[in-house]
Every structure is written in structure tokens, then in C-alpha cells.
Structure 1
Amino acid sequence: MLVLSPVSLNNNRFGGSLAKRWLDVRMHDMYVRRAQRDMYRSRAAYKLLQIDDRFSIFRKNQRVVDLGCYSGGWSQVALKRARVGESNSVVVGVDKIRMDALQMHTFVQGDITDPATIDAIKRALGENKKAHVLLSDMAPNVTGRRADDHLEITELNMKTLDVMENVLGIKGWLVMKTFFGPETQKLRTFLESRFYKVRAYRPHATRPESREVYLIGSGYRGRGVSIASEVNERARVRKEGWELEQPAKVRIPQNEAGAIRQEEELERRAKTSAGVMPEEVSSRPRRMPRQKKR
């Protein structure tokens, strides 16, 4: 008879105190608790809710494509905010991993680099129809090595943009996650050649230690627009600093305000130890201290 001994979270073979700390953070994460309460499949749903509260992306009669949709949190938000069932809105989720079905949700299983997957997305949207909104919360398996993780997600971002140029309609929206790093400005400059306006945003629900930021493009202009001079000018101007949209002020229940303040303090400490984050960059010149008269 085989007897299995219980595994202790303090056992160094399984990550030791690091694993215990991760579990503690998950148990005390207010967005994890909210997701369980509100029946969302992941805490990431609140990031998209906060993005939509800030930019008003969703409305009735939209076609929405959600790349990397597993486990379904973002698709749940899109179904709710685009009023699927109350209007002609359609939400199409795409992932290599099959997920449990959502009501009134179309799921496409496949790799976004496979032309067959792109064809399946187009069929789900309808003949000769384009998406109004393209979402991507895709991220690589994080290694903890920031430089490597940044390059990995940038590669995913470029694949997302390939899909964008195939399925997104004129005047459409893009919401895409990336990790802030050396390639982020190049990515944003490229997006500015395709969209009327591009903004960077970090929702409140983002974990303090995370380097993630969301690039939001509005007013898709298509790939045929020749505005190279405009792109070069914007890149030159932004050398002084990187614009980041600040989270909108929301009403917070009193019993959760303390938890949010604690999260914000942890975020501030994480930024200090990690170096300058985009929202800390400022083009305002530093004021020199006054010298005392002798």
C-alpha cells in the first residue's frame, strides 16, 4: 500500500516560504475575493472593467474579439458591457486551450499565427464583417527575468497586431497588454501609425509588483495610411517622457478602502525598488533649491 505524506508549503523542495507567500497573497487579494463574489472566472476581469470605465469602449451592437481568452474573465466582461443578448453584439474568444463554454459566447480554439484560426475568427464575425473591438490579455509564461519576459510579450504583441490588421474594422478599438521595457516605445510608435489616438493605462487591479501596462488604441485607421512624418514627430516629442493615463477615481466601499491603500503603498515601494515606471516620468524641469543668503 502506497502512503503519501502531506506536502508542507514550507518545504524547500516546493519553493519554501515563497510558495506560502504566494498563497497568502492570493487569499488576501481583494480582487480574487470580488471575482468569487461576482462570479467572474478571474481577477483580470476587473482590469477590463476599469479600462472600460475609463475609456467607454463597449456599447450595443458591437463585434468583439478576445485573444487569449482562457479562462474567460475578459469575455465575461465583454458579454456584459456589449449587451450580448439585448442587442446584435457578438463576442468571439480565441485560445489554444479549450475553456468551459460561456452562454452566448463563440469560442475558437487555435493558434493566432495559424491562417486557419484567422479564417475561423472571420467566419464567427460574419461574412465581410469586421470587429469593433480587439482585446488581448495574452502574456507569456513569466520567468522572473524581466528582460526575457519583456521580449517574449513583445513577440506576442506583434502577433496580436497581425491579427488586428486582418479582423479589426475602421474606427475600431484595441486593448493590449504589454510589459514596460525598452521595446514599449517602438510598439507605441507603431500603434500611432494605425490609430487616431494611443494611450497607456495601468488599472487599479494591476498587482503592485507587476510591470504590465495596457496600450489602448482608439479610431483604427487601417494599414494603408501614410503618416510616417507624424510618427517620427511624435517619437521625437515623447523622448521627454512617456504619457500614461491615470486610473479614474472610483467610489470605494469603506471596508475595502484600507486594503486599496495598502496595495497602493506596496505598489509605490515596488516601483521605487524596480526603477522608474512610465507614470513617474515627467517632462517638467526639476526646481533647484534656493540658496540661503549669507
Structure 2
Amino acid sequence: MPREAMNSESRGRKLCIALGHFIHMIIAIMLAALLLSWMHNAKDINNAFDELCENTKCRYHDVRFYDVAFEHGPFSDPHHAKELRHKIRETYSKEDMKTGTRWTMVYAFSGTLLVLVGLNGIAMMLGAWSLKARALGGCCCCLLGLLNFVSIIVTAVCRFNTIGNLAAISLTPSKYSGEPFEFDKHGRRLEGGLSEEHTFKGDAKVILVSWIAQILLCCSHCCVMGYIQKPHVKRSDAYDTLNPKLSHDDEGSEEKSLVATPGENKDSALTARYY
């Protein structure tokens, strides 16, 4: 049945399937490149901070620095930031505060997943002509679709919770400058290591845009491509494939009905068959 369905697809339909998966693959790879570049930046910041903690006494050696660096501000809306800080102190424990935004995990999880979605798109493109590639890509697509849905939920939680909302109005630099971190002369405040080219407010916008694009990609891939790849077999072909015995019996009965019985002329037999 699957092979008959593929054989019945026109050349234009196959090209449409391949083109649709190609577009989804390009979008997935572009989103993955964006998120993984931000992940690489966050990783560089975390590594630089860990190196500082190895060489000096550091109170917060067990945190991912990128995920908590937004805390000291300044903030684009100081009044709202004060309200969010108060809410965080009432809602979260110290251990929860140490985890911070968890945006490093969001970049890594979503970026890696979108790379796999893009690679699976290659299999689905080949699946326009190959049954094995379509079957393999379809199975992987189900798993990746589930993980993509999980990624969308995780991103929403990390971006729109109270800590994420506070980070989204933080003007703290978030771009690694390539220079090492160091404490000021009082040993309290970090200096260096960050460039004002990016801020956490800008990073929040990147997460928001990629999150919306990921939702649209997931919906279009499930709905649009699912409809395009819907098996299309002629009813007669499907009937003959699924009911070969019944089809044979129908043909035999048709032949019998066209044969005049003794005492019955040919015209009356045809009349009985069609009327």
C-alpha cells in the first residue's frame, strides 16, 4: 500500500514535497545557527568565570555566570525591576536563584534539536522519491516533533518566568569580549570579560523571536507537510489492493451477468445487469 501510494504521486507532487521539506530545513538550520552562536557566547562567559574562580577565591563558583550576570543591572525599567526582585525573593529559594535564567540550557537544547530537525529534512526530501528514506524520516520526525514541543515549553518557562522577565529588562552586557574577568580593587565587583555589544535585554528578544519561529515551524511542518504528504491512491487501485478476492469475484459475477441463460436473450441479460 505505501509503495502504491508513492507510485501514484505525480512528479509535481513529489517536487512539492521535496521543496516543502527543503524550506523547513533551511529555516531550522538558520534558527539553529542563531541559537548555537548565542550558546557559544554563553559558554565562553561561563568558562572565563570558572577560570577566575580557579585562580581566586570566589563565592559563587557553583553557578553558570551567564545565567546570573544580569542581576546587578542596570535595568530599562527600575520600578518594574524592583517589583520583580521582591517577587523573586518571596518565591524562589537560594538554590533556585543560583540557577538563574537557565538560558544557556535553552540555547543548547533548542539549537541542537533544530540541527537534528534540519538533518532529518534531508531524509524527508529524499523521501519524495525513496520509500525507505520517507519511512526513516517519518519515524524520526515523530520523535523530533515531540522533542520540539518539549523545547517550546521549556523555552517559554525559562523566558517568561519571573527571573526571565527580570533578565529581559536588564541592560547588563552579555557579549564575551575575549578578555579575562577580574575583581575590582575591593574584591566585590567583576570587571572586564563583557562587551556592551549585546545586553540581556537583546538576548531576551533573540529567544522570543526564535521561540515564535520555532512554534510556526512546528505547526507548519505538522499541518502543511502532513497534508501534502497525505497518501493519495485511486479508489479502484486501493480496492483491488486491499480486496483482491472480492474484486475477482466482482469481475466473475459481471461476466456471468453478461451471459444469457437458456431461455433468455442477450438483450434481457444486459438490461438486468445495468438496470
Q: Which has the higher strand share?
A: 1
- Greater Rg, structure 1 or structure 2? 2
Output the TM-score relative to the length of structure 2: 0.22
TM-score, reference length from structure 1: 0.21
**Greater relative CO, 1 or 2 (CA 8 Å, sep 6+):** 2
